């Protein structure tokens, strides 16, 4: 199918809001105060999508609960990146039959990336009768219409049509916090890494208009948000599908110019498109966090080629050197896949050597999970699961060792941190983040949440720092 960018007209989005108000009025006539439970799996983009779903649901007159047994509406927003997540989701959805038996009015909706796969949509249709509504990421903008159809007709609704290019501006948002905010700047992916299902379920890359993104960032700052994360499957390619002549580095600079004391973060960066221009923008913009998540996936050129990553080990290491020359204190994190089909011990040793050379602050490591419909799922895979587990454990041990050394180096330093929440634990009851995204546990009052403070680092472990609040 040829790519076509589809910007949903404002009139159509207004119609969806009108449907929300109709549903709200029905609830009011019935004298009901219904509750909704939104269960989210997967990445930050899914979290952002769920905030838009909650925005619609709130307009419909629902309150919210974290107890599925209290809910009149359950929305399960799914992930398709790994098989383990899908099995867990299906198990949890199947268990909702008990909640529906207790509350016959309960409507169960399943959405997100998992259901955009034809075989998973069919599985839900045939084997999970508890599900009333299924819709993919391209149909989120018309959730009210789909909900109303399922509720009014008492028939199951499936909306999982392919659409490469939907962009919908102005959807209602109910954000999950008051300190940190997700800001989607683009959707989809053009890279087609051989192991990844995302381009098939999220569609091709399409960027939001530059001024729309900046306007939303300004509104977030004015609303008091202190930590704004720009989201995209590959933020480095932002703007290429537009005719505006501005790229991701330009966007960072424009948001940096917004008055206020706040941090700009972003994810995810593809090494293929990481440029010196981007690193210079990060270095020169005082509000841009000095942290980049740069997924390498493998240290072997042979495996990187098989993954269709469009860069080699040498290019990646050059990017790391450039970033560190411009930002000596930059925090570097990454993703690595262990046991890609055809990977040998020699290939894995290349990954270990790259990890040692870079010295990542933290890594997210995964054993290869074949995804139906991707080229990698069809490749011969002679290495046993047991051997892959040995490699994985070796990599995790190395990662933990490096992370521990990195954290130990913070001891005694005083850092500016943003207090972003409570831990729910006695003692170190507050959580905070450094500019580079390092987790810091603190002791203090809840009135500090949402404030930048100075903290002296007094302790550490592999995963977090511990600190004492310093008086200004």
Same topology between domain 177-269 and domain 290-409: yes
Q: How far apart are CA 220 and CA 235, in angstroms?
A: 19
How would you classify the pairing of strands 331-338 and 362-367? parallel
Q: Is the pTM of this model over 0.75?
A: yes
Provide the pLDDT for residue 164.
Answer: 67
What CA–CA distance (Å, rounded) separates 335 from 426?
33
Strand partners, 467: 457
Show the tokens assigned to 267.
């994810």
452 SS3 class: strand
Three-state DSSP class for residue 233:
coil
The predicted pLDDT at position 472 comes to 59
DSSP string over 93-112: HHTHHHHHHH-TT-EEEEEE
Rounded-to-integer distance, Cα 250 and Cα 268, Å: 17
Query: 177-269 has which fold?
Result: Transcription Regulator spoIIAA (3.30.750)
Question: How far does Cα 183 stand from its chain's mean position?
Answer: 10
Whole-number pLDDT of residue 106? 97
What integer pLDDT is reported at residue 1 of this predicted model?
A: 43
Q: Check if CATH label 3.40.50.1980 holds for domain 6-166.
A: no
290-409 — its CATH code? 3.30.750.200
Cα 103 vs. chain centroid, distance in angstroms? 32
Could you tell me the CA-to-CA distances from 31 to 15, 27, 55, 67 in Å, in that order?
Answer: 25, 6, 22, 22
Smallest CA-to-CA distance from 247 within 203, 298, 281 is with 281
- Using an 8 Å Cβ cutoff, are 327 and 290 in contact? yes
Distance from CA of residue 290 to its chain's centroid? 19
Spatial contact of 371 and 195, defined as CB atoms under 8 Å apart: yes
* Cα–Cα distances in angstroms (integers) from residue 356 to residues 101, 236, 337, 360, 401, in the given order: 55, 26, 16, 8, 10
Mean pLDDT by runs of 10 across the 472 residues of the chain is 78 98 96 95 95 98 96 97 91 95 96 95 96 96 98 96 84 95 96 95 94 98 98 96 95 98 96 97 98 98 98 98 98 98 98 98 96 95 96 98 96 97 90 96 96 97 94 68
The second-level CATH assignment, the architecture, of 414-470 is: Beta Barrel (2.40)
Q: Which tokens go with 359?
A: 């010295």
The beta strands (E) that lie in 278-346 are given as 291-293, 331-338
3-state DSSP assignment of residue 396: helix
Enumerate the domain spans of the chain.
6-166, 177-269, 290-409, 414-470
Please name the residues in contact with 406: beta carbons below 8 A apart, sequence gap of 6 or more.
Answer: 359, 361
Residue 45: which of 215, 162, 186, 179 has the closest Cα? Answer: 186
pLDDT tens string 112-139: 999 999 999 999 999 999 999 999 999 9
Chain centroid offset of residue 313 CA: 26
Using DSSP bridges, classify how beta strands 6-7 and 166-167 pair: parallel, antiparallel or unpaired.
parallel
The terminus-to-terminus CA distance of the chain in angstroms comes to 59
Q: Compute CA distances 360 → 36, 146, 272, 293, 354, whole Å.
A: 40, 45, 19, 10, 10
The total number of residues written for the chain in this structure: 472
């Amino acid at each position: 199918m040829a790519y076509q960018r589809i910007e949903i007209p404002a009139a159509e989005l207004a119609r969806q809001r009108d449907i929300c108000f109709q549903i709200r009025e029905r609830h009011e006539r019935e004298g009901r105060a219904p509750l909704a439970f939104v269960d989210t799996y997967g990445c930050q983009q899914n979290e952002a999508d769920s905030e838009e779903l909650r925005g619609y649901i709130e307009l419909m007159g629902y309150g919210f609960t974290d107890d599925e047994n209290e809910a009149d509406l359950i929305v399960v927003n799914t992930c398709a990146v790994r098989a383990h997540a899908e099995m867990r989701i299906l198990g949890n959805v199947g268990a909702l039959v008990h909640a529906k038996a207790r509350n016959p009015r309960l409507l169960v909706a399943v959405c997100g990336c998992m259901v955009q796969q034809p075989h998973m949509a069919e599985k839900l249709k045939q084997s999970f009768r508890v599900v009333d509504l299924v819709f993919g990421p391209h149909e989120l903008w018309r959730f009210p219409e789909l909900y109303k159809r399922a509720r009014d007709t008492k028939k199951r609704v499936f909306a999982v049509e392919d659409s490469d290019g939907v962009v919908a501006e102005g959807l209602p948002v109910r954000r999950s916090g008051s300190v940190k905010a997700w800001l989607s700047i683009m959707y989809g992916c053009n890279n087609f890494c051989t192991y990844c299902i995302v381009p098939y379920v999220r569609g091709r890359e399409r960027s939001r208009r530059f001024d729309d993104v900046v306007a939303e960032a300004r509104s977030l700052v004015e609303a008091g948000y202190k930590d704004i994360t720009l989201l995209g499957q590959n933020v480095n390619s932002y703007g290429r599908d537009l005719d505006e002549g501005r790229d991701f580095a330009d966007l960072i600079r424009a948001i940096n110019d917004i008055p206020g004391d706040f941090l700009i973060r972003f994810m995810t960066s593809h090494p293929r498109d990481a440029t010196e221009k981007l690193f210079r923008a990060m270095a020169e913009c005082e509000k841009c966090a000095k942290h980049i998540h740069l997924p390498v996936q493998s240290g072997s050129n042979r495996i990187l080629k098989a993954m269709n990553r469009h860069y080699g080990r040498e290019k990646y290491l050059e990017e790391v050197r450039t970033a560190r020359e411009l930002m000596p204190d930059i925090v570097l994190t990454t993703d690595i896949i262990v046991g890609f089909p055809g990977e040998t011990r020699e290939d894995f040793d290349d990954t270990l050597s790259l990890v040692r050379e870079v010295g990542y602050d933290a890594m997210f490591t995964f054993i290869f999970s074949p995804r139906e419909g991707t080229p990698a799922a069809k490749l011969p895979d002679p290495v046993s699961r047991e051997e892959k587990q040995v490699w994985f454990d070796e990599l995790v041990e190395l990662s933990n060792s490096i992370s521990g050394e990195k954290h130990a180096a913070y001891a005694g330093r005083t850092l500016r941190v943003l207090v972003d929440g409570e831990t729910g634990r006695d003692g170190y009851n507050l959580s905070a983040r450094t500019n580079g995204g390092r987790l810091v546990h603190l002791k203090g009052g809840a009135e500090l949440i949402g404030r930048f403070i100075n903290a002296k680092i007094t302790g550490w472990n592999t995963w977090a720092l511990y600190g004492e609040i310093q008086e200004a």
